[in-house]
Structure 1
Amino acid sequence: MASAAFQGSEDIAEARHLARSFLTDLQKMHGVPVPDHAAGMVQLVVSELVTNARKYAPGPCLLSLEAADGAVEVTVWDSEPCLPVAQTTDPNRVGRHGLEIVMAVCRSFEMHREPVGKRIVAAVALTENPIGDEAGDQTC
């Protein structure tokens, strides 16, 4: 498990660095294979969730990463009690696609109100190609 608290906009790069370090340790120290695709998705999810927390919630946010059941669980807590709402898909909308992207690439996605703020947990599968095979098979 890895975790950190963030308080400023420069923290998004630090959060991605924490994710890369966690994934490297997962492979080297624990022998868990982490395909490049999965590593990229974990970093994307971390970046989007920490960005949203920094953008919409006052105060710090907390990030934790944990490997469980063939996935990396990315958990972000922030002080804003309102749960985010994914907007309907709109290719003409500029920006505000982060939550939509996270929900599309994750095996599971949960939001919970906490006594203070909220906690979002997204699990990224550690498989080579979780969406389909090389020929474009989209079955899950």
Structure 2
Amino acid sequence: MVLPLRNRKADTHGQDGSPPLRYGATWGEGAARAADARQALRALLSHAPRTGRTAVSADLAVDAELAASELVTNAVRHAPGPCGMTLKLSSDELTITVWDSSTDKPAAKKADPRRIGGHGLHLVHTVSDRVVVALRETGKRITAHLSLTPNQSTTGLGGTALPG
């Protein structure tokens, strides 16, 4: 099931008072693909300027695609059953939420160039301003928050300087 791009009344508005632009998708077991998540994100971001919003920077778009792709990949690999994704774009923030049926709390592993795999959640933390994990009785939700405000985000891989 896919919820179309649209403006909806929301509990939170951006700094400019406009309602966020939202997108949602739910996939049955084994049906989710990272490519679908990236395509949905690109559609949302390309639709945003047509609603009067400022276009998202190319660097932030790359970071957001990476976060969406990694979160959906983790849901497919580590949780049986259905999963879903919600994207929310306000005037000041993009949030990417992926839910799945596993009640195991994920942990970001320290980067290790010798290890194959296991870097996804670390990458999500790297490109996001904040990552929130919410455990539920039937699974979990992981939300990556990416700020649209210039110079607030000091993380990222899409060209933004990393501290250090």
Mark yes or no: TM-score above 0.5: yes
Measured after TM superposition, the shift of residue 91 of structure 1 is 2.3
Give the TM-score of the pair, scaled to structure 1. Answer: 0.87
Secondary structure of the 1:42 match is helix
How far apart in 1 are the matches of 2:88 and 2:139?
21
**Paired position in structure 2 for 1:131:** 154
CA deviations over 1:49-70 (Å, ceiling 9, x no partner): 0000011111111100002362
Structure with the higher helix share, 1 or 2:
1
Secondary structure of the 2:56 match is coil
Secondary structure of the 1:109 match is strand
Unmatched tracts of structure 2, length 5 or more: 1-21
- AA of the residue aligned to 1:110: V
Decide which of 22, 27, 31 is 1:6's aligned counterpart.
27
Secondary structure of the 1:77 match is strand
Higher relative contact order (CA 8 A, sep 6+): 1
Q: How many residue pairs end up in the alignment?
A: 137
Q: Is the 8 A contact 1:33 1:126 kept in 2?
A: no
CA deviations over 1:117-140 (Å, ceiling 9, x no partner): 0010111222566338x9x6848x
Measured after TM superposition, the shift of residue 10 of structure 1 is 5.8
Measured after TM superposition, the shift of residue 71 of structure 1 is 1.6
Q: Residues 24 and 80 (structure 1 numbering): CA distance in 2 closer, same or farther, change over 3 Å?
A: same
Secondary structure of the 1:74 match is strand
Decide which of 50, 53, 71 is 1:31's aligned counterpart.
53
**Paired position in structure 1 for 2:4:** none
Measured after TM superposition, the shift of residue 94 of structure 1 is 1.8
How far apart in 1 are the matches of 2:107 and 2:41?
25
Matched, 1:108 2:130: yes
Measured after TM superposition, the shift of residue 87 of structure 1 is 1.2
Superposed counterparts of 1:12-23, under 5 Å:
12-23=34-45
Q: Is the 8 A contact 2:131 2:143 kept in 1?
A: yes
Q: Give the % identical residues.
A: 34
Give the TM-score of the pair, scaled to structure 2. Answer: 0.75
How far apart in 1 are the matches of 2:141 and 2:127?
19
Decide which of 57, 60, 64 is 2:82's aligned counterpart.
60
Unmatched tracts of structure 1, length 5 or more: none
- AA of the residue aligned to 2:130: S
Q: Is the 8 A contact 2:32 2:83 kept in 1?
A: no
CA deviations over 1:42-101 (Å, ceiling 9, x no partner): 111110000000111111111000023622100011000001111122222222100001
